[in-house]
Structure 1
Amino acid sequence: MSRISVFSAPFLLGFDAFEERIDRLSRSADGYPPYNIERSQGEDGAERFLISIAVAGFSQAELDVMVDDHQLQVRGRQKDEAGKDFLHRGIAARQFQRSFLLAEGMEVRDATLGHGMLVIALERPRAVKTARKIDIRSL
């Protein structure tokens, strides 16, 4: 039995890759670490986004930010330090992966780490809308 989705409509051509990406994102969605996404408009008409992720306890060396196939991936890897004897352990060394699907034309501008927050700046430059007439050839 085939699966029916909004992307299988006959007038949506070439969107099957989006469906795969959305499926991949939905499988990796959990609540850790928490994050905010802010949107603003630049004076030049570009749309700007800030993704703030709470990564308290992670150092810069333990974090990776990558863009692969229109997907922003943020990974954190902490290791247990050998030789420590805890009387109480309430802060566990954790790993996480958080993914965000990026629209066509989105550009990652910057990533900064400070005060336990990883802030990733993205921008979608103002798109120039174009229309063109397609000549019809006769055979």
Structure 2
Amino acid sequence: MRTYDFSPLWRSTIGFDRLFDLVESAQRANEDNYPPYNIERVGEDRYQISLALAGFSPAEISVTAEQNAVIVEGSKPDEAKCEYLYRGISARPFKRQFNLADYVQVRGAAFEDGLLKIELIREIPEAMKPRRIAISGAPAGSLHQLEGKAA
């Protein structure tokens, strides 16, 4: 796998720390494909993560929402060992982390038919949304006169 050196960018950028950390962690990650999952867009600002968790019960799964991440962990209690002739349903412990963009929040999670579904929504605060500025009919010179009086 090709690796990239981001040090020249650190000298000339400010505030992109999180982006570089995400790229570097993606490069270092030894991607484990368990459990399998889907990420879907179900609306303009709505998303859903679905994880296939056959053999797990809701009590054996935990979902934790953090600042910009959602972490799903699962583990089965130690059971009496039985003799498997073939074991195709994995029951190994797992931890999967999904990094979230700014303003994306976890709305809820549901477990149904062996699928854990996590609902996400992006809610941009009103102060961050674009807004239209009304233009008054005053002449351009009057704006400078008002600024001079305020100073």
Tell me the TM-score normalized by structure 2.
0.69
Q: Deviations over 1:9-67 (max 9, x none)?
A: 72x421113322443455253111111111132xxxx5100111000111111111112
Question: How do residues 6-25 of structure 1 correspond to structure 2 at under 5 angstroms?
Answer: 8=10, 10=12, 12-24=13-25
Query: Of 67, 70, 78, which residue of structure 1 is paired with 2:68?
Result: 70
Q: Which amino acid aligns with 2:103?
A: G
Structure 1 distance, partners of 2:76, 2:24, is: 27
For residue 14 of structure 1, give the secondary structure of its aligned residue in structure 2: coil
Structure 1 distance, partners of 2:64, 2:98, is: 11
- Between the two proteins, what is the percent identity of the paired residues? 37
Tell me the TM-score normalized by structure 1.
0.74
Give the number of the structure whose residues are more often strand, by fraction. Answer: 1
Give the number of the structure whose residues are more often helix, by fraction. Answer: 2
Match of 2:83 in 1: 86
Gaps of at least 5 residues in structure 2 are 134-151
Cα RMSD of the aligned pairs, angstroms, is: 2.8
For residue 120 of structure 2, give the secondary structure of its aligned residue in structure 1: strand
Question: Contact 1:32–1:96 (CA<8 Å) still a contact in 2?
Answer: yes
Which protein is bigger by CA-based radius of gyration?
A: 2
Match of 1:119 in 2: 117
Higher relative contact order (CA 8 A, sep 6+): 1
Q: Which amino acid aligns with 1:79?
A: P
Q: Deviations over 1:78-121 (max 9, x none)?
A: 13302x43142503431111111101100100100011000000
Structure 2 distance, partners of 1:87, 1:95, is: 18
Match of 1:137 in 2: none
